[in-house]
Amino acid sequence: MPTLIKLLDAPAESGVYHLRSRAATTTICQHASDHGLNSFVLDGSTILGKASLLAACASTLSFPDYFGANWDALEECLTDLSWLEGRGVVLVFRQIAPFIRHNPGDWAIACAIFEDAAAYWRTQSTPFIVLLRGTAGLAPALPVVRRL
């Protein structure tokens, strides 16, 4: 089980993880910044379905105007990110359980897109880490990060 600090320095470990650390989100974002990574926090309590997930990603990551607000466009933007500075990305989803619970099909698609983006960035030796906080055990197949 990797620690968050090891993930920040290991592009080969890019992926989607459960975050079970008690560290504050601001602390996690500061560690990401200290490692030269962009960090973004998405509030899962405002993500009610596909449209709000896409909108939250677009707004939070400052997607370009051409973003088409569909699954293909999400994957395209997540595997581009040329408008961002830094050497990688950390996305922290807080309280994502309601979205997973009420939209399991959309969650499966979104998770696959995040995993595909991480796989792409691994080939580029660029960290791309998605941390899920507050999953309430609804995504058991994902690896876990328990501490910094």
Q: For residues 38 and 86, is the Cβ–Cβ distance under 8 A?
A: yes
Residues 6+ apart with CB under 8 A from 82: none
Instruction: Label residue 41 by pLDDT band (50, 70, 90).
Output: very high
> Considering the entire predicted model, what is its pTM?
0.94
Q: Report the SS3 class of residue 32.
A: helix
- pLDDT tens for 82-127 read 999 989 999 999 999 999 999 999 999 999 999 999 999 999 999 9
Domains, in order of start, for the chain:
4-145 (3.30.370.10)
Q: Which helix (H) or strand (E) holds 55?
A: helix 50-60
* Residue listed under structure tokens 């008690």: 22
Q: pLDDT at position 144, please?
A: 86
